[in-house]
Structures are given as C-alpha cells and as structure tokens.
A = this chain, B = another copy of it.
Amino acid sequence: MDVFTKSFPNSEGPCIRRAWPPAAAAPPPRNKTRIMAPAGTKKGILERLDAGEVVIGDGGFVFALEKRGYVKAGPWTPEAAAEHPEAVRQLHREFLRAGSNVMQTFTFYASDDKLENRGHTQRFTGQQINEAACDLAREVADEGDALVAGGVSQTPSYLSCKSEDEVKAIFKKQMDVFVQKNVDFLIAEYFEHVEEAEWAVQVLKTTGKPVAATLCIGPKGDLNGVSPGDCAVKLVKAGAQIVGINCHFDPETCVKTVKMMKEGVEKAGLKAHYMTQPLAYHTPDCNRQGFIDLPEFPFGLEPRILTRWDMQKYAREAYNAGIRYIGGCCGFEPYHIRAVAEELQADRGFLPAGSEKHGLWGSGLEMHTKPWVRARARRDYWEKLKPASGRPYCPSLSTPDGWGVTKGHAELVQQKEATSKEELKALFDKASHTH
C-alpha cells in the first residue's frame, strides 16, 4: 500500500508519521502513517502549547508573494487575498504541506487607514480583503491539521499620533471580520512600540479567543527604549497568552530577544507561552530598527537568505530556549518551514507531507548523477559548509541607515498622497550626504 493515503489536494495529507525513531541523519523511512486530525476535532492553540507540543507557524506572505508578483513592495498591502486568491491559496497550501500548524489570514496592513494611505488606488475595501483572507485560510486549514489565526499589525494612525480610541477603532474593524469568520485565535504582530501592541491586545481580548502578541524589536527594546523583558510583561498584563518576536531580525537575534522576554515574564512572576517568527535573512549588522534600515532593504537582500541548514539550527535553538510556537516571517519560503519541521521531527514524532520530496540532511543526493555530489549526502557536510556568496566585490556587512526619528516625528507622519518629486529630491539629497 502506498504510504500516502489521503488524496487532497493531490494524493496525500500534510502530515505524515514516520516509524520512530528514525536513523539520525538517515534517508526517510519507508513506513509511515499519516497523522491528521479530522476537521472540527482539532486541538486549540492553547491546548497544544499547554501540552508542551510544538506549534509550527507559517512564513511571511508579503515577501513571498512579492517575488511571485502579487504584492507591491512599498505599500506592502494584501489586496491579493481578494484580487488573486489562487496565488494566496497556493502559498497557504505549500506552508501546510511544509508542516505549518497555523494559517495566518493574509491581512497584514489590511487596516483601512493603511489601505487608504500613500496614494494607493484601492480596488477592494478593507472588509473585502479581510473576509477573503479568512476564507482562504480556513479553506486550506481544513485540508490538514492547522488552525486559523486572524492577524492585526501596527497602524499608520499610531505613528501619526492618533488617539488611543482612534487606533483601537482601527483594530476593532479588522477584529469584527475575524469574529464573524470565526477564526481559531488572534495575533497582534509587527509592533515597534509596545504601547500600540498593548492597545491591540486589549481590543482582541474582548473576543474571548486566545491572543498572541509579537513585537518586531531586538535586544535593545522597542523604539521608545522599553526593554524586551518589560515589553513582554506589559503584553502579558494586557492579556496576551503567547508573547514573542516577529520580523525585523534574523533567527539568532529573535531567539535571543525572546529569551530576554521570558526572563522578564518569569521575574515578574507571570506565565506565558513563547513564540518567534523571525526573518529568513541574516542581519548581524542591524541596529534597533532591524532590516528596514539595511541598505539592501528590500530589493537587495538575496545574499542574506538563510539556507535550510541555518533553519534547522534556528529550530533547535528556539526549542532549546523553551519556545514552542516556531514560525517565520519575511523571506521564508515553504522549504524553510519544512526544515524547521524536519529538525523537530524527533520532538514532534512525525515529518510533514512535504518531506516526501526531501531527503533529510541531503540524503536525496545519493541519487545524483555525479559521484562527488553523491559524496555530499551527509549531515556532516552540510552542517560545516560555509557557503560562498559568489560576490567578491561585495562586503559581508553593511552600515544601517536610520535617521534617528520615530513615532511623532514629522518625517514619520503618514500621508495619503504619494511622496512628491520635491519631497523625494530632498530625501535623495539627504541620503547622499549620510553615505
């Protein structure tokens, strides 16, 4: 009998259980049974985390779909959920197949104040985008053992110094769709100021659903200088059951920052689950504002992309740090999430469906044409590899930009109209002088 027993969407399920334990760095076992909770009987996010299970997140949709041609860099808005649903659906499926247990609704920057902002000619309302995103996430989540999480993120309103009420009203509008579409839990993510994240959590808590909250900050804390430990305490006190970090920094930095959060929470005598969804880009040279400030952002980041082996290292370090919700953000492709799932196969007891097409630790190369490539079919080889850039005229590190401004600064007040030629000229000149 074929080991792949179910036939959706194309003949096997998203999660497969393997004979246990498999040989450490060996080719995948031939005998495996699929684990698949029937729809409706899935365990909730807190049930899983309370039981000590690993929950694997998905990757960032904005960057992945930009490369595929469906998101515009600059505005970074998610109208593709309504405009090109087949592309969003396919990406959800690939992450599911790679091992993700969470389908996040593709609603990043889908607040009305952002959609109306900066001259973008909208063809869909915020509500249409949020609804379409919920439907797509649910459709694919039901194809496997995944939950649906509705997500909100930082708003132009906050950066432009709108009132707490105004900002909260923005969050509520997205939340109303999530409630109507009955998502499984909620995520407040990508906040640079913990205060705004607290407001988001306070709004989302009113639903009664579990709430996760992640900031896009590093070890130096938020843009107001609040330390990671203090940020985490504030989020837990606001009502988040899961706290952590997403985006802006590489896995190493994010795990380090979550550790600081955990220390803060424990020192305060509180309890929480921990989560991290880092970049798939190496960012050892970033300052407080993360990869946004790198000269390579966003169109020259390729040389920084993590390999699958970097991802296995990340998954192990996150796990060892006590983090159990382990996912990704910008730069993550499905194979990156699969690498996380493969690293944690011993801890979870099974491999994802996508491992059907991947020999662990390079073992698929046993079947390569050239003998010297077959000689790379081993863990030792890939763990030690220091991959070359093929770019001898480029440096290893960059000096980040960052003009020393944050919330409230005139240059950061968000505007509806596209930047004018005169404004741009002034910016170009300023940039030329800081380099």
Contact = CB atoms under 8 A, between A and B. Distances in A.
B382 A300 contact: yes
A120 B389 contact: no
A51 interface: no
Interface of A: 2, 9-11, 24, 27, 66-75, 83-87, 90, 93-94, 97-98, 117-120, 123, 156, 159, 250, 281-285, 289, 292-309, 333-335, 338, 353-354, 356-359, 362-378, 381-382, 385-399, 401-403, 405, 411-412, 414, 418-419, 421, 423-424, 427-428, 430-431, 434
A333 B68 contact: yes
A390 B285 contact: yes
A391 B387 contact: yes
Contacts of A118: 367
Contacts of A298: 365
A295 B376 CA distance: 8
Contact of A74 (B74, B87, B367, B371): B367
Contacts of A363: 74
Nearest to A338: B69
Contacts of A364: 72-75
Contacts of A374: 419, 423-424, 427
A10 B372 contact: no
Contacts of A282: 389-391
Contact of A333 (B67, B84, B338, B378): B67
10 nearest A-B residue pairs (beta carbon): A74-B364, A282-B390, A375-B431, A69-B354, A300-B387, A118-B367, A375-B427, A392-B392, A304-B390, A392-B396
Contacts of A9: 84, 86
A418 B366 contact: yes
Contact of A388 (B97, B98, B372, B396): B396
Given A385-B296, A414-B369, A72 B391 contact: no
A331 to B, nearest CB: 10
A333 to B, nearest CB: 5
Contacts of A159: 369
Contact of A367 (B94, B362, B418): B418
Contacts of A362: 299
Contact of A335 (B69, B87, B411): B69
Contacts of A338: 69
Given A66-B335, A386-B394, A73 B365 contact: yes
Given A300-B307, A308-B299, A372-B293, A393 B387 contact: no
A236 to B, nearest CB: 28
A398 B394 CA distance: 9
Contacts of A120: 367
B69 A94 contact: yes
A403 B372 contact: yes
Contacts of A119: 367
A70 to B, nearest CB: 6
B385 A389 contact: no
A280 to B, nearest CB: 9
A373 B338 CA distance: 32
A297 to B, nearest CB: 7
A120 B357 CA distance: 11
Q: Which of A9, A68, A70, A98 has the most CB of B within 10 A?
A: A68
23 contacts: A9-B86, A24-B421, A68-B334, A69-B97, A69-B338, A74-B365, A117-B367, A285-B388, A296-B387, A296-B388, A299-B376, A300-B387, A366-B418, A366-B424, A367-B418, A372-B403, A374-B419, A375-B431, A386-B394, A386-B395, A388-B396, A389-B394, A394-B396
